[in-house]
Each structure stands twice: as C-alpha cells, then as structure tokens.
C-alpha cells in the first residue's frame, strides 16, 4: 500500500521526518524516500531500496547529512518517490499513496495536451507520482491542480506536496486512505498513521475528511478545499494494514480486531478445540477476542522470529515469499503436538501462505487445524489501493475454487458466491477448505466485520468482498 509523513517546523525537522516515516514501515516493502527544503540549500532528496533491509538502516546516514525545516517522506510499495518537480507552479516535492487504473489513458492525454515526456521506469511503466504531478501542473494553482488530478484519476490518490512556502496535504477524493495533522510547539506534521507522531511530541490536531486539502506552515494550517460529503474508507485498514495503535475515523485498530474476533466466536458455536491462536501478527488481537468470548484458552503455538527476519524483508518472488514466511515461524511443540487448534488470520487471499502454515502445523504434530478468517472471502481484486501483488482476480483462491466447481459459468453467479446464505457460497467454502487441508473453515461475515468497525457501513469500502462500488 504505502504510507506518507510530512513535517513543517521553525527548526531542523529531519529527525522528526526520519522517525515519522519509519513508523510507516509496516505499509510497504520496496522503496523509502525523504525530501527536505531548507532556505539555505533548497530541495534535496534521498531514495533507497528497502526490500532487503529496513528503512531505518538505509537512511541513518541521510539523517546526518540532510537539513531542512520542512520535509516529506514515504514508504512506497511501488514507485520511487518523493519526486522534486520544477514547473510553472514553482519548485516542489511530491509523494503519493494510491492507485491509477487509467494511467496509460492519462499519459496519452498528457501528450496530447503538450507534455513532452515522462521518465520511463523498468518494464516501461510511468511513475504514478510523476503522472500526478503532470496533472497538477495543468492548472494555474496547486489546490486547483490537486483537485484536477484527483478528479481525472480512476482509483485513489492521497498527496503530500511540499513548496517553499509550506506543505499541501490532500486526502484522496473518497477518503479510502486516512490523513492526520499533529501539532507541537513550533511545528506541525501530517501523517497516514495517527500514532506515528505521538512519540515525537506531537498531539492530535485534525483528521482530514474525504477529498479535503489543507495547507500547513509552522504557524498553523488552513483548509483550502473542504471535505466532500461521501466517504469510502478501506475496511482492510482495520483487518490487516493498520498498526494496532492506529485509529481511523475514531475507531482503534486493536479494538476493532478484538471485537471482530468476539463476533466470530458468537457465530461459531460448534468449535471443539484445545487452543485458539492468531496467525501473527495481525491475527493475534482477533484471536484474543475469540478466546475471551468463547472461553477457549488462547495460546501461541508458533512464534514469529523477528531479530533477523524483519517485516521489510518480503521478496517479490512468490516462491521466495512463501519460504521466508515459513522461515519466520518457530513451532512450540508442547502447544501443537496432538492438539486441536483454531487459528484466526486477518484474511485468506491467494491461500498459498495459509496452506504452507497448515502443512507446517500438521508436520509439527497437530491433530486438527481449524481456520477462521477475520473477513469474508475476497472475491475481487482491489481497484483503489495496491494491497496485493496479485495481477489477476484468478490469483484469489476463492475465484480459483469457483472455476474448479463450475468453470466460466461460475463467474456469472458471483453475487451468489458472495452471499453466505447461498448453496454456492457453502460449496466454495468447502472447496477452499479441501484445498488448504484444514479440518474446518468458517469466514467472518460481512455484517460481523462491519459491526466490529462500528461506523456507518455506507462510509466503508467493501468492494473486494462484494464487487459493489
């Protein structure tokens, strides 16, 4: 997905920027970047590959060498950024979080409107942040340009844009991703994650609404474009992406996961197992909620080894990713051998890593393995955020099983497969259960997940489960 962080201060802000960006490392594994502005030296930037080592390690030297009273940074799961741009709107640095589905169409339109070139990346792709800057530059002011870009982009786009005068923060048009402003004496920050600035001395000041654009200086912030009436924040922020200490729309991630597990237990009266466990780390809070509600003991039958396997090390190759996921998990024999185990994971996407985990548990002596995903079966690839490396809906285990059951005919009945009350849904779940070799499989319901989030369901995006905008 990716995350962004920015600082405007009356003093050197590089240290705050460094730690603020680092606190977003759970949101991406490919690139990290920082750009700062100083009245003395202007703009400067650093970008590093973080696929094999964490952000903090790669940027330690940059912290000592860079200087500026304003800056932006990102953890990017896609393109290198931030970018420094020179245009008729002035010089600025820009970083983004989002997805552009109509990128090639917008590139073609840009050429027709007079853009001379884009810097082509590996594979012939155009950097989405560069394209966003190009769209902004088509208008006579930055706020007007940001709105123009967001209106043209099919997908979503949250933007931090740093000028010599201050920082523009723009939440995506439908509020699919969050953006927060923090404040301390002499400085303001803006952050994707609400917890990222607390240990830096900032306190909550303002949460941007959907489509809102604010301009921030060391003296304060002002809203230059008010929020829209509609919002569709991503539900996956709570079930998987978000850090436990984060809150979105006033709902804490850890609390939502606990409540989600509790609701799962209420709807699952038939489980006869020895222990409830979470697939670490995002499944843990769900499992504690389930255990407390059901009265079944919570346990940790395997432990994630983190000293030499950081979250950031997650290679692009799927086979290697599966091996790394396996290497991280160390079994606790006394809690596995001859035991009936119920595991809660945040989701089942492709099913490959879950199958590896199940095989690992059986090989370690488990008697039974029951799986309870904390969200419904994922049926559609996300159109708005890059939350999965899957390139096709057929990579989803649910779609694969549907094709196995009915061939192409099954895809004409997706609405039934999304409905837990239908026979088609039950047959699909049975097929996933067989493929993953689990004793039983029961997904969280859509209603249960939304009840755990607790905000107006109309404000929550559930496209990947329902296919409905």
Domains and CATH numbers, the chain: 3-231 (3.60.20.10), 251-466 (3.40.50.2020)
pLDDT value of residue 126: 86
Helix (H, G, I), strand (E, B) or coil at 45: strand
Residue 169 has pLDDT above 60, yes or no: yes
pLDDT at 389: 55
Determine if the peptide bond prior to 332 is cis (ω within 30°): no
pTM: 0.91
| Structure confidence by residue, pLDDT tens digits, 453-465 | 999 999 999 999 9
| Residue of higher predicted confidence among 148 and 28 | 148
pLDDT confidence bin for 313, thresholds 50/70/90: very low
In this structure, the number of other CB atoms found within 10 A of the CB of residue 444 comes to 28
Kindly give, in sequence order, each residue whose CB lies less than 8 Å from that of residue 291, ignoring residues fewer than 6 positions away: 261, 265, 276, 297, 298
Peptide bond into 113 cis (omega under 30): no
Nearest to 146 by CA among 128, 173, 164: 173
Q: Is-contact 139 151, C-beta < 8 A? A: no
Tell me how far apart the alpha carbons of residues 268 and 295 are, in angstroms, rounded to a whole number: 12
Give the tens place of pLDDT for each residue, 182-209: 999 999 999 999 999 999 999 999 999 9
Distance between CA atoms of residues 196 and 214, nearest Å: 19
* Phi-psi sector, 201: left (phi>0), alpha (psi -120 to 50), beta: left
């Amino acid at each position: 997905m990716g995350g962004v962080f920015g600082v405007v201060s009356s003093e050197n802000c590089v240290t705050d920027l460094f730690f603020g960006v680092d606190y977003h490392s759970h949101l991406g594994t490919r690139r990290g970047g920082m750009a700062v502005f100083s009245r003395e030296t202007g703009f400067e930037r650093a970008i590093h590959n973080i696929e094999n080592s964490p952000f903090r390690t790669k940027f330690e030297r940059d912290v000592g060498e860079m200087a500026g009273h304003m800056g932006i940074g990102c953890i990017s799961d896609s393109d290198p950024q931030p970018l420094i741009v020179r245009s008729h709107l002035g010089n600025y640095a820009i970083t983004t979080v989002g997805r552009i589905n109509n990128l090639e169409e917008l590139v073609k339109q840009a050429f027709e409107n007079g853009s001379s070139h884009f810097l082509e990346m590996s594979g012939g792709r155009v950097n989405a942040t560069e394209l966003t800057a190009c769209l902004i530059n088509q208008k006579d002011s930055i706020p007007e340009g940001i709105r123009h870009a967001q209106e043209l982009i099919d997908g979503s786009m949250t933007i931090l844009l740093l000028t010599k005068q201050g920082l523009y923060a723009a939440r995506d048009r439908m509020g699919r991703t969050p953006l927060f402003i923090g404040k301390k004496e002499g400085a303001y920050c803006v952050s994707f994650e609400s917890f990222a600035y607390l240990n830096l001395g900032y306190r909550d000041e303002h949460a941007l609404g959907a489509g809102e654009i604010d301009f921030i200086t060391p003296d304060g912030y002002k809203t230059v474009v008010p929020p829209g009436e509609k919002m569709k924040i991503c539900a996956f922020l709570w079930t998987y992406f978000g850090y436990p200490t984060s809150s979105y729309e006033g709902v804490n991630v850890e609390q939502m996961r606990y409540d989600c597990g509790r609701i799962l237990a209420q709807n699952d009266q038939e489980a006869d197992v020895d222990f409830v466990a979470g697939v670490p780390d995002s499944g843990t809070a769900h499992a504690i909620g389930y255990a407390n509600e059901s009265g079944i003991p919570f346990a940790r039958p395997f432990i994630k080894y983190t000293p030499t396997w950081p979250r950031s090390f997650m290679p692009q190759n799927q086979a290697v990713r599966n091996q790394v996921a396996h290497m991280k998990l160390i079994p606790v024999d006394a809690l596995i051998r001859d035991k009936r185990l119920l595991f809660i994971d945040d989701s089942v996407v492709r099913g490959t890593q879950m199958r590896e985990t199940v095989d690992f548990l059986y090989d370690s002596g488990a008697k039974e393995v029951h799986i309870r995903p904390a969200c419904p079966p994922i049926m559609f690839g996300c159109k708005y955020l890059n939350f999965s490396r899957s390139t096709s809906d057929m990579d989803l285990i649910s779609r694969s099983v549907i094709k196995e059951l009915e061939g192409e005919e099954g895809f004409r009945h997706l609405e039934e497969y999304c409905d837990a009350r239908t026979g088609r849904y039950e047959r699909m779940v049975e097929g996933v259960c067989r493929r993953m070799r689990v004793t039983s499989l029961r997904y969280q319901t859509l209603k249960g997940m939304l009840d755990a989030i607790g905000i107006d369901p109309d404000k929550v995006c559930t496209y990947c489960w329902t296919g409905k905008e």
